[in-house]
Structure 1
Amino acid sequence: MTSRPLSHLRVLDFGHFLAGPMVGMILADMGAEVIRIDPPGGPRWKDPAFDMLSRGKRSVVLDLKTADGRQKALDLAARSDVVIENFRPGVMERLGLGPAALRQANPAIVSLSLPGFASADPEFADLPAWEAVIAARTGQFTDMGLNRRLMGINPSFTPLGLASAYGAAFGAMSVLFALGARDRNGGDHIEVPLASALFEGLVYNSEQVEAYPDRYKSPRELELDRRAAAGLPLDLAFADLWSLLDPFYRTYMCADGRGFYVVSCSIKGHQRRALEVLGLHALAESLPDFDAYLDRSEWPADWALRNFPVGPADRARVADAMQAAFLTRPSTEWEALFGAAKAPGTAQRTSAEWLADPHALAAGLVLEVDDPRHGRMRQMGNVAWLADDAAATDKRPGPVPDDLRPKLDAILAEAPRGPADGSGAQTGWLDGVKVVDLTNVIAGPTIGATLARFGAKVTHVQPVDPSVDPWNAVVFGLQAQRGKESVLLDLSCQDGRRVLDKLIAGADVVTMNGTDAQRDALGLSPDRLAAINPALILVQLDAFGGPRRGPKSDHLGYDDLAQAATGVMLRFGGGMETPEEHAHFGTIDVLTGFCACVSLGAALERRRMTGRGGLARAALAAAGEMIQAQFMYDFAGRGPWNEPSGREALGWDAFYRCYRAADGWMFFAAPTERAAALARIPALADLATMSGDAELAAALAERLATRPIADWVADFAGGSVGIVPLGSLHATRDASLVLESDGPPDIRKATFRAVRHDRHPMGRWVDLVAPNAVRPERAAIIVPGHAPKYGADTREVLQRAGCDSDQMDAMIQAGSASEGWSSRYLPE
């Protein structure tokens, strides 16, 4: 068979800015026939980024303001599988192309809408939802990370299109999952509000645990607590942060003047490997090392090497020794040494450097595409792919194969039609799908937690002897392990392996995060899995893997390392002297988990048509490119890399910027009206003729500071200008909070929704974002309960695997299975 994973599908792409076109690109990258619908005169977004997002697509020009254009669009929809649009709510209905009209033309159509805010939300639905307006209102620019808070820098603007990236990943996965359920549910309409997707993507930054133990707080968090208690100002200089950074979680300068980022803080053995690569063997031996899951009252020292963070007595001497060692070699040498030793670390790079990086090009993480407008163009690579799709890096639209279409048409002929208005909830898209989850930390577990909301049954398998400290495994697991059952097995022994093989034999999907070398060492090579279960799909994510092998494919890495490698840290911090992690926890981790769900969706589609399993992939580095999609390209003659960066950035220009009003900070977005918007406001009309962006920004700042935000919102109402107060993630959470004990919350109307798990087995309540970014009209969405304590379901899982009571007792006594890591859910 020569067809690609999605080559049996036709997609109509009405998208006009970032999120919509990105969904179309993702589907085209996996072989779908994507037809871009352009208005007369061409696309409204004319930019090299749009040209990149249009790769692999065909274009049809339709005037949707005419009856003939609308009818042609409906005729195309009748012969298509998917429609994508990201207009403001109501636009498609006014054009006669809303969900009901599309379903009337094609009962099996899956339509995807990507509005800025939920269309049913009376407070936000009508806001002009520019990317930064979404970010500002949700809380992306406020209290942005520990460094900025300690330095007293607020707001912190960033040009990263996080809302569109998270929304595109949710949109692509939901379309693919809905396609797979058409034989049960028929067609569906799906709404993915970008603000809801952003809130979910930044979930770890609004997680709140009652009476959170100090043992899990970093030195920076403790310093914030100290200053708040003492009434001290937040005014640290960047250089003063050095003493508050964990030695195993920071940037060090190397002999070549380039920073080297190390993330070796929470996985057992990583800290020791990092020190040994640096030649600091004696230092490694002198540091305390004991079970991180002991309560603090039982600790034999004030910190443990395998437990984040490093204690105050050793922090400075470890950091100073590591810095002295790094200064003895250039960053490229350290990168090779750390990679070979399986110690996580990478050199800091700019985005332009990443696009020219030999590994990125060799692995297919960066692609070279012949663009008709710009010539040879380096572009961000795929964000999701199947390992045996040889054409994954070929971005030319090829001939549409017809070998699978008749089979798909036969399936759809038997699909339930359902009422034209889409009413009547059906099954979850993934009902009946069984998942064996072998992942840890954030990115990997995000896959299973996401699948569970769509009906999948997820069994999370972890080792009897934990390799990850409680901060990463338990605190982050409060979110990442919701909706799963938990079993602890020793996979190095025969009994544990036998149980795992039985689970795999009965599963549809196995998920794991790790390199190819780690995968094969665990006995999870594609050949071995195919021998156990030929229809099985393995979903694998790692840091630097790509569609092809490259020199760093087996280097270990985490979210922050992908930020450092792909240019995010240097852009956010402002340069090589001041690199900063993009300060929201899990910025790339969570997105990578979502992208892995996209790759699974494609694999399930292929299996539905062919019966084949296979290997579905995603990578942190690819997701690092995705959040920079607006500027992740290069070609001869490209304009300057002058996107906003650094601690002083407040916006792109005077018409797209954070301003302080009389009652607080707001975001002002008039990127299309620009001076015309000022001209229609009497209080600002005299500024409309000003030249010079800096001068205009200063004048606007002075004028806008004279009145409250609500007055400016009222003045600009009715146009395309977006004005919102700068929210914070915590305030957004608190305003949308419901109690778990009150029953399942309504997640389909409000843009934002959070749940307080007030009956949590750890004995504390915890606030978490609800899963409401994906809102199908017909399919069911499950709001999961609390994450189980690790090992809570071991006996039930062993029984399903064929073990009787005596065998279970013997396995637990022998240590080949376990019912827990610690006496408490959250060790204190």
Structure 2
Amino acid sequence: MTDRPLAHLRVLDFGHYLAGPLVGMMLADLGAEVIRIDPPGGPRWRDPAFDMLSRGKRSLVLDLKTDAGKQTALDLAARSDVVIENFRPGVMDRLGLGPEALRAVNPALISLSLPGFASTDPELASVAAWEAVIAARTGQFTDMGLNRQLMGINPSFTPLGLASAYGAAFGALSVLFALGARGRNGGEHIEVPLASALFEGLAYNSEQIESYPTRYQCPRETELNRRRAAGLPLNLSYAELDAFLDPFYRTYRCADGRGFYVVACSIVTHPHRVLHVLGLDELAATLPDFDAWQDQTDWPDEWALRNYPVGDRDRGRITRAMQAAFLTRPSWEWEALFGDGKAPATAQRSSREWLTDPHALASGLVQTVEDPRHGQMRQMGKLAWLEDDAGALDCPTAPEVDELRPDLARLLTEAPRTASAPTGNSGWLDGLKVVDLTNVIAGPTIGATLARFGADVTSVQPVSPSVDPWNAVVFGLQAHRGKESVLLNLASAEGRAALERLIAEADVVTMNGTDQQRDTMGLSPERLEELNPGAILVQLDAWGGPRRGPKSDHLGYDDLAQAATGVMVRFGGGPATPEEHAHFGTIDALTGYTACVALGAALERKRVTGKGGVARSALAACGAMIQAQFMYDFDGRPPFDEPAGREARGWGPFYHCYRAADGWMFFAAPIDRGAALARVPELADLSRVPEDDLAPSLAERFARESIAYWSERLPDGSVTVVPLGSLAVNREASLQVESTGDIDLTEATYRAIRHDQHPMGRWVDLVAPNAVRPASAAITLPSAAPKPGTHTRTVLARTGFSEAEIDAMIAKGLAGERWSPNYLPE
């Protein structure tokens, strides 16, 4: 074994297109030996993006339809730790390489399947699950973002590969966690349906709360609800949206004309910092500023500067003052000033600009590879890494086809992998103790994900909340499920001592913050080593990378990563009209999952070497990940001309949203193309129409019949038609009620749960944790997110504090039992 975290592992990568190769790339980036299995003639997806996804792998051409090819694959599987595939359900079984056949030659094997839809779903399992088909059926193109809804633009096609990105992250973390449990559970087969992963990754956009207080609705939501209730048209122009944007959550124009995105509505001190950087302290002094954790009936004014959103009375004047201030300097000056002032904001960039951004290159968030096919190639950097892994700075290239062939005979002489007899079907992380120091969405997603696999997670937050109720509680309903909650004053010596007792007993500590924030909290690698030599710190931030860069200590959130990496410019259609993708959580949730991948690698290294360390991921890395199929550049690269903007309906006529007689549908025939039309009498004459002219004619024909009609007539092999779903419709159709005690997480592709006995006193509908489906390991349905401080006494007693000491700590404000009388302030 070398000193790379996963250098002791061998992975067979049968993946094609995006999701499977992404898993293999992440494991290779962490040091695993990854062997890409190619069909005769080489990979079917011949694209520079596939070369990027193949970096660090070796290649072997096998004809799996022959006995010799199948036997070689089985012989390699017997000598490997992991097998990855993302074929349609049943394909690997037909090839003689299904889970049972693999387990017969290697009981220790972890096999991962990434189908488009769940293999157990009677309606969707057999659908040809192209990326956009999954997105269309799940709801990625429907009601996507408040801007689009107010403009009445629905659907909105986007080429972002969210399903593959979420699915790959879930796949990689589950493989690593299952490897760590092999000693107890033996080998394992895992299914991660990409549509389930997409539904779960967008969970924060489909959460529904009974009698949701209006105080948490932003101006765009209020206007949307007003228009719907009054039967008014949804027809705002992009310019008209400006009046409904919160001043601390929007794009401004700088002196150089570049857009500059501000997101300062989460932490209670951030609006003040923004106004201070802009030279608007006098304005700040005139704004209401009081405890936002009170019920609204007790507020001394109509809104508080510590609470999102800004009230109607002051929204316009704050916006105008900020607009005027931004016009006094160019964007690059503001970026430095905001970074130094610890105020979260960033300049808007295109994807191509991100690939040449000085910070991205310096930090390793973008890496430069000397590629034998493309020359000097810039591509997205590592998505998950360990801080002390020197190999995280390596920039390997893609393999030549059949690169492994000279070494094949030697590999096949190795002894097959063996496994001890399993002792049970426990959760992969049973007994793992986690101290969770995170807030908002991305960081808390780590602990919530670990909890479903059996980890014991204790959330530690301050006695006086640093985050407003919208961010802490509304998002926390999803992000803090399955955890204990303790409140400590970490600015005090006593609070720090209590935290250090928790850390001394923990296996893992999670935090979201920069290196400066980490060290200030007393969690530097050196201090962590003193407190608990074997502990692993999982650190997530906005701009961190394998190396330091000029923005490494700048603050940031999901939307800022979207702005900086090109997502907003892409989704909005250009630099003049940037828009956030979805409303929240697009990158946040994904970064929580990739941080779990980094943790899985750290746990695997610790299992082998006993060494702890710092496991990392970053929002900006995941901003690139959801654009993976475009996130590269080199001299001679074809234009960045993929579909973008609010009018996009697809990628050519054979991969496109069309309106049928009874609603919108997605038609996908990217391989069959004209031949698919020729097989249908009503469409056969269109098979001879040039593709550049075809979409209008197809739209007219499809409008004549129902979605069901075309779904029955067209699907054949790689061709499919699916109705455009929505997150809300899928949630309602898949809803199960928690109090019945009969929650199924395994059959349907989509699953949501109504927590009808929630401690906040309202029911809440949340996406179920069913993206990861092991064949044998246990999955825990996480308990409801507790009211902050619920477990303070229990946790302190468990760490050795007496009842009298706990009483004294609470009386002095060194510990706390609640933030407000109500779970959700009204």
TM-score, normalised to structure 2, is 0.97
Partner of 1:643: 642
* 1:416 corresponds to which of 407, 416, 421: 421
Partner of 2:504: 505
Partner of 2:732: 734
Do residues 787 (structure 1) and 792 (structure 2) align?
Answer: no
Matched AA of 1:649:
A
Could you say what secondary structure the match of 1:391 adopts?
helix
Counterpart CA distance in 2 for 1:410 and 1:52 is 32
Q: Deviations over 1:115-151 (max 9, x none)?
A: 0000011011000000011011111111111110000
Contact 1:183 1:412 survives alignment (8 Å): no
Matched AA of 1:236:
L
Could you say what secondary structure the match of 1:637 adopts?
coil
Partner of 1:247: 247
Matched AA of 2:546:
P
Moved more, 713-722 or 787-796: 713-722
1:3 deviates by: 2.2
Partner of 1:310: 310
1:718 deviates by: 2.9
Pairs aligned (count): 813
Partner of 2:107: 107
Matched AA of 2:11:
V
Counterpart CA distance in 2 for 1:585 and 1:237 is 22
1:509 deviates by: 0.2
Partner of 2:264: 264
Q: Deviations over 1:402-431 (max 9, x none)?
A: xxxxxxx9997562258xxxxxx7000000
Q: Residues 429-444 of structure 1 correspond to what in structure 2 (within 5 A)?
A: 429-444=428-443
Could you say what secondary structure the match of 1:176 adopts?
helix
Counterpart CA distance in 1 for 2:635 and 2:61 is 29
Contact 1:183 1:411 survives alignment (8 Å): no
Contact 1:185 1:415 survives alignment (8 Å): no
1:498 deviates by: 1.2
Partner of 2:186: 186
Counterpart CA distance in 1 for 2:652 and 2:182 is 46
Counterpart CA distance in 2 for 1:69 and 1:304 is 67
Counterpart CA distance in 1 for 2:609 and 2:676 is 55
Counterpart CA distance in 1 for 2:479 and 2:742 is 19
Could you say what secondary structure the match of 1:369 adopts?
strand
Do residues 384 (structure 1) and 389 (structure 2) align?
Answer: no
Partner of 1:481: 480
Partner of 2:758: 760
Matched AA of 1:101:
A
Moved more, 160-169 or 140-149: 140-149
Matched AA of 1:148:
R
Moved more, 536-545 or 718-727: 718-727
Counterpart CA distance in 1 for 2:14 and 2:446 is 28
Contact 2:64 2:95 survives alignment (8 Å): yes
Partner of 1:673: 672
Matched AA of 1:416:
A
Moved more, 716-725 or 611-620: 716-725
Counterpart CA distance in 2 for 1:743 and 1:499 is 37
Contact 1:744 1:783 survives alignment (8 Å): no
Q: Deviations over 1:618-666 (max 9, x none)?
A: 0000000000001000011000010110110001110000000000000
Q: Residues 178-577 of structure 1 correspond to what in structure 2 (within 5 A)?
A: 178-396=178-396, 413=418, 415-416=420-421, 426-577=425-576
Counterpart CA distance in 2 for 1:787 and 1:598 is 23
Contact 1:569 1:582 survives alignment (8 Å): yes
Matched AA of 1:570:
V
1:467 deviates by: 0.3
1:609 deviates by: 0.2
Matched AA of 2:544:
G
Counterpart CA distance in 2 for 1:818 and 1:20 is 46
Contact 1:169 1:595 survives alignment (8 Å): yes
Matched AA of 1:426:
N
Contact 1:147 1:241 survives alignment (8 Å): yes
Do residues 818 (structure 1) and 799 (structure 2) align?
Answer: no
Counterpart CA distance in 2 for 1:417 and 1:573 is 52
* 1:698 corresponds to which of 696, 704, 726: 696
Counterpart CA distance in 1 for 2:227 and 2:583 is 21
Contact 1:139 1:728 survives alignment (8 Å): yes
Q: 1:818 to 1:183 in 2, by over 3 A?
A: same
Moved more, 60-69 or 493-502: 493-502
Counterpart CA distance in 2 for 1:722 and 1:342 is 49
Partner of 1:72: 72
Could you say what secondary structure the match of 2:36 adopts?
strand
1:749 deviates by: 1.1
Contact 1:20 1:168 survives alignment (8 Å): yes
1:719 deviates by: 2.3
Contact 2:707 2:723 survives alignment (8 Å): yes
Counterpart CA distance in 2 for 1:413 and 1:107 is 7
Moved more, 389-398 or 769-778: 389-398
Counterpart CA distance in 1 for 2:177 and 2:91 is 26
Contact 1:182 1:412 survives alignment (8 Å): no
Could you say what secondary structure the match of 1:651 adopts?
coil
Counterpart CA distance in 1 for 2:669 and 2:440 is 40
Q: 1:414 to 1:719 in 2, by over 3 A?
A: closer
1:395 deviates by: 3.1
Could you say what secondary structure the match of 2:753 adopts?
strand
Counterpart CA distance in 1 for 2:472 and 2:346 is 23
Counterpart CA distance in 1 for 2:225 and 2:54 is 48
Could you say what secondary structure the match of 2:116 adopts?
coil
1:279 deviates by: 0.6
Matched AA of 1:441:
V
Contact 1:49 1:629 survives alignment (8 Å): yes
Contact 2:183 2:422 survives alignment (8 Å): no
Contact 2:483 2:786 survives alignment (8 Å): yes
Matched AA of 1:84:
I
Q: 1:744 to 1:803 in 2, by over 3 A?
A: farther
Contact 1:108 1:417 survives alignment (8 Å): no
1:688 deviates by: 0.5
Q: Deviations over 1:585-641 (max 9, x none)?
A: 100000000000000000000000000000000000000000000100001100001
1:716 deviates by: 1.4
Counterpart CA distance in 1 for 2:167 and 2:231 is 40
Q: Deviations over 1:709-744 (max 9, x none)?
A: 111111113321121000110000000000010115
Contact 1:464 1:818 survives alignment (8 Å): yes
1:497 deviates by: 1.0
Counterpart CA distance in 2 for 1:684 and 1:286 is 66
Contact 2:487 2:789 survives alignment (8 Å): yes
Counterpart CA distance in 1 for 2:657 and 2:592 is 31
1:393 deviates by: 2.5
Counterpart CA distance in 2 for 1:748 and 1:466 is 38
Partner of 1:609: 608
Partner of 1:585: 584
1:320 deviates by: 0.2
Gaps of 5+ in 2: 405-413
Matched AA of 1:668:
F
1:2 deviates by: 4.1
Partner of 2:30: 30
Q: Deviations over 1:342-370 (max 9, x none)?
A: 00000000000000001000000000011
Counterpart CA distance in 2 for 1:2 and 1:785 is 41
Matched AA of 2:736:
V
Matched AA of 2:773:
R
Moved more, 529-538 or 711-720: 711-720
Matched AA of 2:725:
G
Q: Deviations over 1:275-299 (max 9, x none)?
A: 0100111001111110010000000
Contact 1:11 1:35 survives alignment (8 Å): yes
Counterpart CA distance in 2 for 1:435 and 1:391 is 27
Partner of 2:145: 145
Contact 2:84 2:113 survives alignment (8 Å): yes
